[in-house]
């Protein structure tokens, strides 16, 4: 479910920016105050939709008189010309809310569409695509929700819901063992993941039987060796491939037997799904 409070903050910020210098001058000048409109949200390209609730939430921030009917469901695969939702009400209000609603809807749908491509590429393997914390401030809930709509799974939502031991943490305390000991001692109930750079580090880490190990910048062949090592030393530990992964090598990595592919690009390099608001005929 899309988190309403955090999304409303984005909506209100978007509207605040749009009205920073006064009312919608063009709309006020060209549209009669009593004019009413019915219009449809329609994709221009195929994709996966995510964030449909932002339509009503945005429209109602401008005017409670706007009626919103949604026909699609987040996670649906949509085609150009499909009617995702219809809005009906005061024309001035609809036009003033249009851009903020579309900015968030096209952003979320772009993430869902890209995630869906990865999900399709991994079909038939046990691997799932995961996001990261590489999100713009304020957009994390929407971005990670969109990843789920596209068939992916979420990594940490924040710094406090999981332990992730990386090279800088290890360097600061002298060893993976010490970093692991400290996190276990202070946060015993949190899931624990450790980043490793080579097979030797992986072997050392697996003796702790962590929940998950991140294989950072491993080749496909080294990943396959890492999976075999995991299966021997700590079968319950999940493995995650990370580091510059692209769609053209996704299946090669998935077929090694890893559990997750970490793809920061799902949220940090977003290509929106082109969606428009068209007056109903």
Contact 264, 134 (CB under 8 A): yes
Among candidate residues 18, 76, 82, 99, the one labeled active-site is 99
d(CA 60, CA 68): 9
Q: Which structure tokens are listed for 55?
A: 């339509």
Distance CA 66, CA 192 (A): 47
Encode burial over 108-137: b for 16+ CB neighbours within 10 A, e otherwise: bbbbbbbbbbbbebbeebebbbbbbbbbee
Catalytic residue among 117, 133, 134, 224: 134
* Count of CA atoms in the C-beta half-sphere (13 A) of 168: 1
- The token duo for 64 is 């409670």
Are the beta carbons of 124 and 255 closer than 8 angstroms?
Answer: no
DSSP 3-state assignment of 17? Answer: helix
Per the structure block, which two tokens stand in for 11?
A: 């909506």
Active site residue 117: no
Identified catalytic residue from 12, 128, 133, 166: 166
Determine whether 274 is an active site residue. Answer: no
| The token pair that represents 192 in the structure block | 């624990």
For residue 36, the SS3 value is strand
Q: Is 99 a catalytic residue?
A: yes
DSSP state of 31: S
Q: Find the catalytic residue in 131, 216, 240, 259.
A: 216
CA distance to 116, 122, 203, per residue, from 196 (Å): 28, 23, 10
End-to-end, the C-alpha distance of the chain in Å comes to 33
- Report, as residue numbers or ranges, the catalytic residues: 99, 134, 166, 195, 216
């Amino acid at each position: 479910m899309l988190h309403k409070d955090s999304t409303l903050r984005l909506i209100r910020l978007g509207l605040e920016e749009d009205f920073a210098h006064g009312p919608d001058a063009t709309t006020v000048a060209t549209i009669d105050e009593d004019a009413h409109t019915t219009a449809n949200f329609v994709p221009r390209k195929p994709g996966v939709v995510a964030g449909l609730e932002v339509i009503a939430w945005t429209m109602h921030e401008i005017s409670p008189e706007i009626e919103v009917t949604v026909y699609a469901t987040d996670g649906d695969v949509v085609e150009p010309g499909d009617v995702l939702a219809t809005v009906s009400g005061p024309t001035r209000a609809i036009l003033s809310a249009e851009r903020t609603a579309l900015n968030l809807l096209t952003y979320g749908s772009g993430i869902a569409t890209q995630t869906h491509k990865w999900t399709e590429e991994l079909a038939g393997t046990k691997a799932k695509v995961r996001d990261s914390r590489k999100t713009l401030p304020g957009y994390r809930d929407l971005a990670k929700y969109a990843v789920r709509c596209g068939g992916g799974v979420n990594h940490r939502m924040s710094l406090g819901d999981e332990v992730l031991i990386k090279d800088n943490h290890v360097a600061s305390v002298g060893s993976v063992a010490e970093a692991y000991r400290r996190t276990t001692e202070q946060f015993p109930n949190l899931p624990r993941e450790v980043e490793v750079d080579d097979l030797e580090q992986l072997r050392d880490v697996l003796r702790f039987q962590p929940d998950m190990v991140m294989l950072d910048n491993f080749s496909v062949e080294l990943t396959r060796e890492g999976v075999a090592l995991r299966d021997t030393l700590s079968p319950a530990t999940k493995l995650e491939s990370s580091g510059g992964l692209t769609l053209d090598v996704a299946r090669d990595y998935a077929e090694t037997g890893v559990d997750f592919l970490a793809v920061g690009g799902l949220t940090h390099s977003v290509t929106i799904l082109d969606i428009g608001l068209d007056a109903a005929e």
